[in-house]
Structures are given as structure tokens and as C-alpha cells.
């Protein structure tokens, strides 16, 4: 009996202790919130983005911070769950009283958390959520990446016009809104340009076995296969396609951008084309500077697309704070909305009237284990 | 026809992996009546161990069959110890308690291995070293079978035969069968139940590690959450075959692999996960104890 | 008329508590940090989930791993209903109707799962319910009308503290009365010994299906509240990991104890928030705590006792 009392009392005390934990006031620093999937199913996106954000933060503070103050980033984990994203952002906004929020990668979590920022009038800048609906939540919600329609249709145009492919197969990550979104716009554009989709197959995030789908695709004899997923699965897909003797050209989106793609895919990813935010071959100082700093900070690691976008999102936010000249939410929002030709790593970013980032898209080709620039397409 | 044979090969080699994991579930269930939720994560640790061992011993850069065998045996040993440790720390004290409490510690151990794995190994996927270079073993028409596919099937088969030998022909195996038949009676007959349980966990975890190593070889991308879905699927396979029954687990695993493959190939890959469960529910409605499950007479 | 009066008198306390939610919710939303309010609302939703699963798992002893599936059905059905009303919905009536529809949708599924459970025992039942939850999730994921992989956006945020705790109180009181009634002992009898219960004239079939139906209904209501609270739903919120989370609440509270389920639901919702200081390590600490808690109190926080006002009184189940 007594032990029960002890445990219940301890629990009650723990609850109270949590309720009393102090709010953090804004002193001689500016607090920006970041939320992401540091644990859970897509922990790799959260941690990559976080690395990019921290790198940008270091650069900002080394240069003296903004508005004469140092910037501090408070990072909260959402365990890769939409409902946890809501809690994380509420904590950032209401308890840490951040002036702005950076995140998330997955559109499902950005969509869940965006209403919190919108109703609290705190600007939110998603680093990599490509679903068009995210910024439609309200005028405080922005993104640092391009949206599904642009990327999906660009690849379709490139494949039909430049590669002269006619018969396409699509292999979609059915659990992932990003992949489903790209598929939809790729399919529409291919049909519009007179191409043909001969077979559509799907898989689920986390799968490692794709041979059943690939065998079916092989039987349909396509010229090219569009695989709009994340490198975590795509490299294996390429590998298994190679093992089955599939010779069709593989096409992908920015989810392919990771050093792991060539590491896991090996010679199977040779000749893959994918759309991306930037090319490491670009001689723009932003790109080269970023690559150098990133490798220095993270033991020679090559950044993936998420790290680049995390870096750009944090830098854009600092730029907006600087131009706003204030930490007032509405003024930061107006400054973000006025972002024009911002020299990001992922290109010159201009925020359009729908609060989406307008920037050029590049097509890369994998050759000899490296990503080579093929062409750049303006929006 | 070519396509059908190709899918058959895909399904069998994939199902062999499920079968190995399912065997571990079934063994533990047989003696402890516990759904060992952490089993799928032991499989993940097996793959991770193999990854690190291969790099430490230098087999990652020099592919050889001997290297593969050494790496697999070492990884199996490491996981056997891990299995024994899990049993000792998380389950032993709860044996006389309600079964649900052991289930919760199993869930706790599973979460610990997953989240701990994300911290220790890092959340991003790793490229599993190619201990044996993959090439096509034969090519007939458009049908391709790689040496890895063949290896997975052969090694799984060998391990299953080995397990059967241990269980049917050795003294510890006899003790294991006695405990799984009746826990109390076995204890009364002077069998050291604790030792048998430790051994069960060691054997089951070693099989999971073998599965993990071979998956690494076959689908060379490993990450800390890789055990989640195969864990559930292998559990389903064990139940499908009749949980607690060894041949049942093997048949269940192969059926699961074949079902997933053929559903993706001939129905729709979008419904793959659902169809596997529909078939399971269908089988259980006709045979409530699975395909090979023992029908226990209920005593009043 | 006399019957109605009697009903009113019997339920006066419940009615007062439910009505008191309204001013309380006004006060809370005004004075309390929304972050805390959010956690408190999540506690309320988890209480409904845990208490309803407790009827199936803890009290009737039917091991179910599919509660997230029922929750998903309730969430999507009720959200589809309010979305079909158009953008102008903003009332308690609409929410109530939506919750009822969501609850009934889930209850129908509960019957569908309850019926096969008549033939299946223990872990076989567990895997069938797990499968059922996954089937529901895959079907929703492939239904474009409710957003598929993109999730369902634009759900009117009709639910809040008042509605969640109103539902929680009704749910707890209803299940408490059901379990502590004469007929209700049948549920516990089935858990303790199904054959003996049947021999004593308990219609085991009927009670098992009732347990599944009522449990699923409330899971559906919880799903509906969840959908109308966060305004956006995605199938990632309803995987089997969510089912396991609810099972953990039931077992940790003490299988069969309603107050235990409430306590555990609150504790396990707050715990990850308290551990936020641990950043990337918090889920590791969480899982360690789970193991330690179970090792030190294997029968759960309250065992099968109930926490009552007077004292630690043993519950009906022994």
C-alpha cells in the first residue's frame, strides 16, 4: 500500500516540476526555434537539417549576430510524428518565446505545426517541405525549397525533350507525400508531352526489398523509370534493378542527393539523372564556401540536400531578421516575404507571392561516382 | 513464365530471411509464451555488429567467402550474448508475473535498442560492406538468380537443419522441448529451466543475427530502425505457421515472402502490406492455431 | 417522466462535471500557456484511449493490438463529415454529431474484429487485431478522397479542453458503471476463466463483442477529438506503434484498473515532455524508465485495484 502512495506522489511531483520549469526570456540574445525529426522513422532528415542549421548559426554569430545580438537556436524533437510536431512548436513559441521557427522537412509535420505559428503570428520557414499546401496555411508560413509541381514537371520535360524517352515506369514511395506529389506532376506532364506511362508501382518508406516491383517494371520494358523517393531507399532500388538486368535510365528528385547514394548504389547508380537544388560543381562562392565549411565542421562529411536546405533556411531567417530590424513577428514576416535574390547555397532565392522559394533547378547526372551538372532550368 | 519464375526466386530468397527471424520468435514463444517484441531489433543489432566487425577485421575491403563466414559467426556470437543479457535483465525477474508485464519490458527493450541505436550508430543508413561480390549465378531468358540469393537460401537452410539437430538430437534440445511442453513438469524433472531459457534466447538471437548479416549482404543498406517492419512481419509469419512450431515458422516465413512478392507483382504493390494481413486473418479464421499449430484441449 | 427524473438524479454529478468544463475551458485557454493546455488535452485524449482499451484488454482479457486502427477510423470518418459540411462549421453540435458518427464507424469495425475473436485466443487474437489496424491504415493511405499519403488538411479545430474532458468524463463514468454493475462482472469473469464463465451461464460471445464494440466506439471518439483538435491528420499518427503505446498505458496502469489507466495515460503523456531537456537522449531515458517501472511494479501502478476517494479499495476484480 505504502509503495503505491510513494509512486503516485512521485508522479504528481514530477508533473508539477514540469509545469514550473521556467520560461526563457529574451535577453541579450535572439532566440529562434527549430523543430525536426531527431529521432524516429526519418531521423536522418532531422539530423542532417540540424547540422546545416548549426553551421549557418555559427557563421551568423561569428559575423557578430543580428541586430547587435547573438542568435540562439532552440531545437525540439518531434519523433517523426505530426502530432508531436504540434507540441514541439507550441513549446518553442509559447514557452521559449522564439521570434521565428525553422522546420520541418516532411510536409505532413509542417502542415500539422504551421497553424500554431500562423495563429501566434510567428513566421515559420520550412526548409524542405515541398507540398504546395504547406504555405497555403497562412501568410506567416514560408519555405526555402521549390514545390512538387515544379520539380516533377521539370524532370518530365527533361526526360521527354532532352533524353527523348517515350515509355515511362514510375516507382513511388506510397507512404510519402513528397514522392506521391512528384509522381502526380511527373505523370501529368509526361502525358501532356505525348509520353506514355506503361507501369506504376509503389513501395513504402523503410522497405529494402523491391525486386517484385522491379521485375514487373522490367516486363513492361520502359525507356526510363522515375523513382521520386529518398536516397535511403532509392540507392537500393537502383542496385536491385541492376541485379535484375534492368537497363532503363533511372530518374529521380532531390531526395537522391546524398553521398550515400553512390556509396550504396555503386555502379548501379551510374547514369542516373535527378533534379536538385544545386550542384557541388557550381563555382558560385556560396556553394564552394559552404562545402568547405561543412567538411571542416563534420569530419569530411559531404552534405546532403537536407543539410543544404537547413543551412539556407537558417541563413534566410537571419537575413530577414536583419532587414526587419526588429524581432516583431509581423515585421519578420514582411522581411521574409520581401526576400529577393538571396544568395543561398541552393541558388538565388526569391520568395514569391505564395511564399514559396523561386530558384533555378538543376539536373544532375551520376558519372564515375560523382554528381555532374547537366543543365540549369529557371522557374 | 519468365516473370513468374523470377518472382518465385525473389520471394523464396526474401522469405528465407523472414523464416530465420520467425524461428527466433517461435522458439521464445514456445518456452516462455512471450511475444518477444525486441527480436526484430536484435536482428538489427546483428546487421550492425556484422558491419562493424567487417570493418574492424578488414574484410570490408577484401571480399572473400571466408570473411563472410567469420563475420557472420562473430555477429551471431555477439547477438547470442545480447539475447542472454536481455533475458537475464528484462525477463527473468518477471517470469512469475502476469505475462503482460513481460510484454511491456519487451517493448521497452525494443525501444531502447531502436532509439539507442539511433544515437550509437547514427540514424542515417549505412552501406553494408560487400563481403561477397554479387554476380549473376545463372541467366535463363530474362530470369536472373544472383549468387547472393542462392547463398541466402542455402545458408538459411543449413542453419535451420542445424537448429533442428540441436533441438531433436542433443540433451539441451531435449530439455528445451521438455520446457516448452510443460514448464513446471520440466522443472520437477530436474531440468535447469534458467539455463534452457538462456539457451533459447541465445539460439534465437543468433539466428536473427544471421538473418541480419545476410540481409546486409543481399540488400546492403542497414539502419537502426530496419528491424521494425521485418520484426512484425516475421511475427505474423510465426503465427501463420502456428506459433511455437518450428517447421511452421519456416513455412510461415517462406509463405510471407512469397505472398508479398506475388501481391506486388500480380495485384498491386500499394496493398501489399494489407493483403499479407488479410491472408493471415483468413487462415486463422479457418485454422485458429495457424497452419501447424498444436490444438490444445482446454481443460476445465 | 419518473424514469427521466431518476436518470437525471443518477447522472447529476456527471452532468455538472461535464457542464463545468465550459467555464473551465474558457478560463484555461485564457490563463494557461497553450503548450501546457496542449499537453493537458493530449492527456484527455489518451485517457479515453487507455480507458476504452482497458475494457477490452484489461477487464475482458482480450489482448488487442489494433486500437490505433479504431482511432484512425474515428478520426477520418468524423473529419470527412465536418469537411463535407463546408468551411463554415463552428459549433458544438457539429462536433458532437461528428464524434458520434466517428465513434459509430469505429464501433462497426469493432464488431467486425470482435466476431473473429470468438474463435481466437490470446496471441492469435493479438496478431489479428494488429493486422486489422494495419489494414485500416493501408486502406486510408490509398484513399485519395481523404488525402492518402498527403494527409487530410483543413479540419475545423472544433475540439478543445471542454469537449475532450467532457467526453473523457462520460467515457470513464460509463465504463466504470458498466464494469461495476452486476452484468459487468461478466467481463472480468471472462478474463479470469472463460470456460468457467461460460459454464456459469455467462454469454461469453455476447460480452466479448460488447467489449470490442464499446472499446472501439470510444477509440473512434478519441480519434475524432484528436482530428478536430490538431486540425490535420496523417496515417503516420495511427501506426501499430500507437496501438502499442496505448497497450503500454493499460498494462502500466494495472490491467483491469480504470483509475490506473487514467494515471498511466497522464504519466506517459507528460513523461516525454519532462524529458525534453535530454534532447536526443530523451527517448532512450523513456524506454529505460519503462523497463525499470515494469521491473519494480510488474502488475502495473495500481495492480487491479482502483483509486477511490475513500481509500485504496480493492476493485471488483481479484
DSSP A60-97: HHHTT-BTTBEEEEEEEE-TT-HHHHHHHHHIIIIIS-
**pLDDT average, residue stretch C246-255:** 89
d(CA B187, CA A180) in angstroms, rounded, equals: 57
d(CA C270, CA C36) in angstroms, rounded, equals: 10
Could you tell me the pLDDT band of residue A356, with boundaries at 50, 70 and 90? Answer: very high
Could you tell me the pLDDT band of residue B253, with boundaries at 50, 70 and 90? Answer: very high
- The pLDDT, as a whole number, for residue C7 is 65
Q: Is B299 helix (H, G, I), strand (E, B) or coil?
A: coil
Q: Please state the φ and ψ torsions of residue C255, each to the nearest 5 degrees.
A: -55, 125
Report the 3 state secondary structure along B161-191. HHHHHHHHHCHHHHHHHHHHHCHHHHHHCCC
Residue in chain C closest to B33 (alpha carbons) equals: C123
Residues 6+ apart with CB under 8 A from C230: A82, A83, A86, A112, C157
Element (H, E) at A252: strand A249-252
CB atoms B274 and C135 under 8 Å:
yes
Could you tell me the pLDDT band of residue A58, with boundaries at 50, 70 and 90? Answer: very high
- The pLDDT, as a whole number, for residue A273 is 96
d(CA B97, CA C249) in angstroms, rounded, equals: 17
In the block, residue with C-alpha cell 507525400: A177
Distance from CA of B141 to the nearest CA of C (A): 35
Q: Please state the φ and ψ torsions of residue B286, each to the nearest 5 degrees.
A: -80, -45
- In this predicted model, what pLDDT tens digit does every residue of A261-310 receive, in sequence order? 998 998 999 999 999 988 888 888 999 999 999 999 998 888 988 999 99
Q: Does pLDDT of B2 surpass 90?
A: no
Tell me the helices (H) and strands (E) count for chain A, helix number first: 12, 15
Q: What is the DSSP letter of C152?
A: B
CB atoms B94 and C134 under 8 Å:
no
- The pLDDT, as a whole number, for residue C200 is 84
CB atoms C149 and A177 under 8 Å:
yes
Rounded to the nearest integer, the mean pLDDT of chain C is 85
CB contacts < 8 A, A to C, total 107
- In this predicted model, what pLDDT tens digit does every residue of A171-216 receive, in sequence order? 999 888 889 999 999 999 999 999 999 999 999 888 899 999 999 9
Tell me which residue in C236, C273, C280 faces A38 most closely, judged by beta carbons. C280
Query: CA C55 → CA A305, B16, C312, distances in Å?
Result: 48, 39, 21
- The pLDDT, as a whole number, for residue C58 is 86
In this complex, is the C-beta atom of A16 within 8 Å of any C-beta atom belonging to chain C? Answer: no
Nearest to C165 by CA among C52, C22, C306: C22
Neighbour tally for B238: CB within 10 Å: 36
Q: Is B221 helix (H, G, I), strand (E, B) or coil?
A: strand
- The pLDDT, as a whole number, for residue B64 is 85
Q: Please state the φ and ψ torsions of residue A349, each to the nearest 5 degrees.
A: -100, 130
- In this predicted model, what pLDDT tens digit does every residue of C176-210 receive, in sequence order? 989 888 878 888 888 888 888 888 888 888 888 89
* Number of residues assigned to chain B: 300
Mutate to test the interface with C, among A24, A42, A74, A112 (most CBs of C within 10 A): A112
Cell (9 digits) for B20: 530465420
Mutate to test the interface with B, among C123, C130, C136 (most CBs of B within 10 A): C123
Q: Does pLDDT of A7 surpass 60?
A: no
- In this predicted model, what pLDDT tens digit does every residue of A15-45 receive, in sequence order? 444 444 434 445 689 999 999 999 888 888 8
The pTM score is: 0.88
- The pLDDT, as a whole number, for residue B184 is 84
C179 Cα distance to chain centroid: 16
Residues 6+ apart with CB under 8 A from C93: none
CB atoms C255 and B98 under 8 Å:
yes
- The pLDDT, as a whole number, for residue A309 is 95
**pLDDT average, residue stretch B24-49:** 91
- In this predicted model, what pLDDT tens digit does every residue of C157-166 receive, in sequence order? 888 888 899 9
Q: Please state the φ and ψ torsions of residue B139, each to the nearest 5 degrees.
A: -135, 115
In the block, residue with C-alpha cell 468524423: C78
Cell (9 digits) for A251: 530518374
In this complex, is the C-beta atom of A244 within 8 Å of any C-beta atom belonging to chain C? Answer: no
- In this predicted model, what pLDDT tens digit does every residue of A111-154 receive, in sequence order? 999 999 999 999 999 999 988 889 999 999 999 998 989 999 99
d(CA A185, CA A176) in angstroms, rounded, equals: 15
Q: In which region does residue A194 sit, left (phi positive, over 0), alpha (psi from -120 to 50) or beta (all else)?
A: left
Cell (9 digits) for C63: 489482448
Nearest to B246 by CA among B256, B259, B237, B233: B237
- The pLDDT, as a whole number, for residue C90 is 67
Residues 6+ apart with CB under 8 A from A102: A32, A33, A34, A53, A73, A124, A125, A127, A310, A313, A314, A317
C264 Cα distance to chain centroid: 12
Q: Is A241 helix (H, G, I), strand (E, B) or coil?
A: helix
Neighbour tally for A52: CB within 10 Å: 27
Q: Does pLDDT of C30 surpass 80?
A: no
More confidently predicted of C304 and C185: C185
Cβ distance B106 to C290 under 8 Å?
A: no
Q: In which region does residue C86 sit, left (phi positive, over 0), alpha (psi from -120 to 50) or beta (all else)?
A: left
Residue in chain A closest to B1 (alpha carbons) equals: A219
B window 197-226, beta carbon within 8 A of A: 215, 219-221, 223, 225-226
CA atoms within 13 A on the CB side of C103: 18
Nearest to C193 by CA among C241, C255, C121: C121
Cβ distance C75 to C102 under 8 Å?
A: yes
Rounded to the nearest integer, the mean pLDDT of chain A is 89
- The pLDDT, as a whole number, for residue A90 is 92
Q: Give the CA-trace dihedral at B276, B277, B279, B284, to 10 degrees.
A: 140
- In this predicted model, what pLDDT tens digit does every residue of B159-197 receive, in sequence order? 999 999 999 999 989 998 898 888 888 888 888 889 999
Nearest to A121 by CA among A139, A95, A148, A103: A139
Residues 6+ apart with CB under 8 A from C133: C65, C66, C67, C68, C69, C70, C72, C238, C240, C243
CB atoms C283 and A39 under 8 Å:
yes
Triad A291, A297, A298: Cα angle to 5°: 90
Distance from CA of A78 to the nearest CA of B (A): 13
In this complex, is the C-beta atom of B141 within 8 Å of any C-beta atom belonging to chain A? Answer: no
CB atoms A236 and B220 under 8 Å:
yes
Cell (9 digits) for C92: 458544438
Name subunits touching B (3+ CB pairs < 8 A): A, C
Q: Does pLDDT of A4 surpass 80?
A: no
Cell (9 digits) for C94: 457539429
CB atoms B229 and A207 under 8 Å:
yes
Tell me which residue in B118, B127, B134 faces A243 most closely, judged by beta carbons. B134
- Residue A28 burial by CB count (10 A; 0-12/13-18/19+): exposed, middle or buried? exposed
d(CA C262, CA C50) in angstroms, rounded, equals: 7
- The pLDDT, as a whole number, for residue C4 is 61
Amino acid at each position: 500500500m505504502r509503495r503505491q502512495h510513494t509512486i503516485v506522489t512521485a508522479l504528481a511531483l514530477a508533473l508539477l516540476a514540469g509545469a514550473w520549469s521556467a520560461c526563457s526570456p529574451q535577453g541579450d540574445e535572439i532566440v529562434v526555434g527549430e523543430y525536426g525529426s531527431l529521432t524516429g522513422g526519418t531521423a536522418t532528415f532531422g539530423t542532417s537539417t540540424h547540422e546545416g542549421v548549426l553551421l549557418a548559426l555559427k557563421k551568423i554569430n561569428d559575423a557578430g549576430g543580428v541586430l547587435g545580438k547573438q542568435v540562439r537556436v532552440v531545437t525540439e524533437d518531434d519523433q517523426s510524428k505530426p502530432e508531436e510536431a504540434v507540441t514541439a512548436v507550441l513549446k518553442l513559441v509559447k514557452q521559449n518565446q522564439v521570434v521565428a521557427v525553422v522546420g520541418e522537412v516532411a510536409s505532413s509535420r509542417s502542415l500539422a505545426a504551421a497553424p500554431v505559428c500562423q495563429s501566434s503570428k510567428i513566421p515559420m520557414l520550412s526548409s524542405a517541405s515541398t507540398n504546395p499546401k504547406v504555405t497555403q496555411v497562412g501568410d506567416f508560413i514560408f519555405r526555402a525549397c521549390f514545390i512538387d509541381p515544379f520539380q516533377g514537371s521539370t524532370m518530365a520535360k527533361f526526360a521527354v525533350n532532352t533524353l527523348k524517352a517515350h515509355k515511362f515506369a514510375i516507382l513511388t514511395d506510397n507512404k510519402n507525400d513528397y514522392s506521391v506529389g512528384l509522381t502526380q506532376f511527373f505523370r501529368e506532364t509526361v502525358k501532356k508531352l505525348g509520353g506514355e506511362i506503361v507501369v506504376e508501382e509503389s513501395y513504402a518508406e523503410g522497405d529494402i526489398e523491391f525486386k517484385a516491383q522491379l521485375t514487373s517494371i522490367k516486363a513492361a520494358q520502359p525507356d526510363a523509370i522515375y523513382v521520386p523517393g529518398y536516397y535511403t531507399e532509392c540507392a537500393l532500388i537502383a542496385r536491385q534493378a541492376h541485379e535484375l538486368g534492368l537497363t532503363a535510365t533511372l530518374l529521380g528528385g532531390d531526395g537522391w542527393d546524398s553521398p550515400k547514394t553512390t556509396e550504396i548504389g555503386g555502379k548501379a547508380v551510374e547514369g542516373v539523372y535527378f533534379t536538385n537544388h544545386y550542384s557541388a560543381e557550381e563555382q558560385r562562392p556560396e556553394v564552394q564556401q559552404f562545402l568547405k565549411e561543412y567538411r571542416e565542421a563534420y569530419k569530411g562529411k559531404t552534405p546532403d540536400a537536407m543539410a543544404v536546405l537547413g543551412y539556407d533556411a537558417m541563413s534566410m531567417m537571419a537575413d530577414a531578421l536583419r532587414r526587419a530590424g526588429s524581432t516583431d513577428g509581423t515585421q519578420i514576416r514582411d522581411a521574409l516575404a520581401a526576400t529577393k535574390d538571396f544568395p543561398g547555397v541552393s541558388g538565388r532565392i526569391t520568395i514569391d507571392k505564395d511564399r514559396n522559394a523561386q530558384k533555378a533547378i538543376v539536373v544532375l547526372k551520376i558519372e564515375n561516382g560523382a554528381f555532374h551538372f547537366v543543365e540549369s532550368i529557371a522557374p | 513464365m519468365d516473370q513468374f519464375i523470377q518472382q518465385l526466386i525473389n520471394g523464396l530468397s526474401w522469405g528465407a530471411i523472414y523464416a530465420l527471424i520467425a524461428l527466433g520468435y517461435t522458439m521464445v514463444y514456445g518456452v516462455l509464451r512471450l511475444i518477444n517484441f525486441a527480436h526484430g531489433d536484435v536482428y538489427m543489432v546483428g546487421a550492425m555488429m556484422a558491419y562493424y566487425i567487417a570493418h574492424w577485421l578488414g574484410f570490408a575491403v577484401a571480399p572473400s567467402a571466408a570473411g563472410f563466414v567469420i563475420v557472420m559467426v562473430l555477429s551471431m556470437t555477439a547477438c547470442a550474448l545480447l539475447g542472454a543479457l536481455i533475458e537475464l535483465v528484462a525477463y527473468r525477474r518477471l517470469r512469475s508475473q502476469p505475462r503482460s508485464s513481460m510484454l511491456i519490458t519487451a517493448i521497452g527493450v525494443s525501444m531502447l535498442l531502436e532509439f539507442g541505436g539511433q544515437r550509437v550508430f547514427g540514424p542515417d543508413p549505412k552501406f553494408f560492406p560487400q563481403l561477397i561480390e554479387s554476380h549473376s549465378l545463372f541467366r535463363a531468358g530474362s530470369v536472373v538468380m544472383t549468387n547472393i540469393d542462392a547463398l541466402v537460401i542455402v545458408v538459411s537452410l543449413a542453419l535451420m537443419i542445424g537448429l533442428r539437430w540441436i533441438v531433436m538430437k542433443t540433451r539441451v534440445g531435449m530439455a528445451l522441448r521438455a520446457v516448452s511442453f510443460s514448464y513446471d513438469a520440466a522443472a520437477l524433472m530436474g531440468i535447469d529451466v534458467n539455463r534452457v531459457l538462456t539457451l533459447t534466447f541465445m539460439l534465437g538471437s543468433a539466428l536473427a543475427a544471421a538473418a541480419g548479416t545476410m540481409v546486409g549482404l543481399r540488400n546492403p543498406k542497414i539502419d537502426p530502425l530496419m528491424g521494425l517492419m521485418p520484426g512484425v512481419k516475421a511475427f505474423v509469419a510465426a503465427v501463420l505457421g502456428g506459433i511455437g512450431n518450428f517447421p511452421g515458422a519456416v513455412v510461415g516465413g517462406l509463405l510471407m515472402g512469397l505472398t508479398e512478392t506475388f501481391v506486388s507483382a500480380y495485384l498491386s504493390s500499394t496493398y501489399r502490406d494489407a493483403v499479407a494481413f488479410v491472408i493471415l486473418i483468413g487462415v486463422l479464421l479457418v485454422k485458429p492455431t495457424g497452419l501447424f499449430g498444436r490444438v490444445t484441449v482446454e481443460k476445465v | 417522466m419518473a424514469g427521466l427524473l431518476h436518470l437525471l438524479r443518477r447522472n447529476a454529478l456527471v452532468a455538472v462535471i461535464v457542464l463545468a468544463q465550459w467555464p473551465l475551458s474558457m478560463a484555461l485557454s485564457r490563463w494557461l500557456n497553450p503548450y501546457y493546455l496542449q499537453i493537458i488535452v493530449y492527456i484527455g485524449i489518451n485517457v479515453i484511449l487507455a480507458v476504452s482499451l482497458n475494457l477490452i484488454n484489461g477487464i475482458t482479457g482480450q489482448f488487442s493490438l489494433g486500437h490505433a486502427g479504431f482511432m484512425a477510423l474515428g478520426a477520418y470518418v468524423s473529419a470527412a463529415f465536418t469537411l463535407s459540411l463546408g468551411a463554415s462549421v463552428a459549433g458544438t453540435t457539429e462536433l458532437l454529431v461528428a464524434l458520434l458518427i466517428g465513434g459509430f464507424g469505429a464501433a462497426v469495425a469493432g464488431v467486425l474484429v470482435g466476431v473473429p475473436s470468438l474463435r481466437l485466443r490470446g496471441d492469435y487474437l493479438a496478431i489479428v487485431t494488429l493486422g486489422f489496424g494495419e489494414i485500416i491504415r493501408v486502406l486510408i493511405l490509398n484513399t485519395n478522397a481523404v488525402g492518402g499519403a498527403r494527409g487530410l488538411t483543413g479540419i475545423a479545430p472544433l475540439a478543445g479542453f471542454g469537449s475532450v474532458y467532457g467526453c473523457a468524463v462520460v467515457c470513464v463514468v460509463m465504463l466504470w458503471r458498466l464494469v461495476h454493475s452486476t452484468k459487468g462482472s461478466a467481463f472480468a469473469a471472462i478474463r479470469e476463466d472463460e470456460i468457467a464463465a461460460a459454464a456459469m451461464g455467462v454469454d461469453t460471445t455476447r460480452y466479448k463483442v460488447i467489449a470490442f464494440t464499446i472499446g472501439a466506439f470510444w477509440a473512434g471518439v478519441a480519434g475524432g477529438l484528436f482530428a478536430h483538435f490538431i486540425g490535420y491528420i496523417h496515417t503516420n499518427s495511427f501506426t501499430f506503434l500507437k496501438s502499442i503505446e496505448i497497450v503500454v498505458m493499460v498494462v502500466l496502469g494495472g490491467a483491469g484498473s480504470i483509475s490506473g489507466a487514467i494515471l498511466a495515460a497522464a504519466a506517459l503523456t507528460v513523461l516525454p515532455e519532462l524529458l525534453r531537456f535530454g534532447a536526443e537522449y530523451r527517448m532512450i531515458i523513456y524506454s529505460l524508465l519503462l523497463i525499470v517501472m515494469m521491473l519494480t511494479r510488474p502488475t502495473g501502478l495500481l495492480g487491479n485495484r482502483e483509486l477511490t476517494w475513500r481509500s485504496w479499495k480493492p476493485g471488483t476484480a481479484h
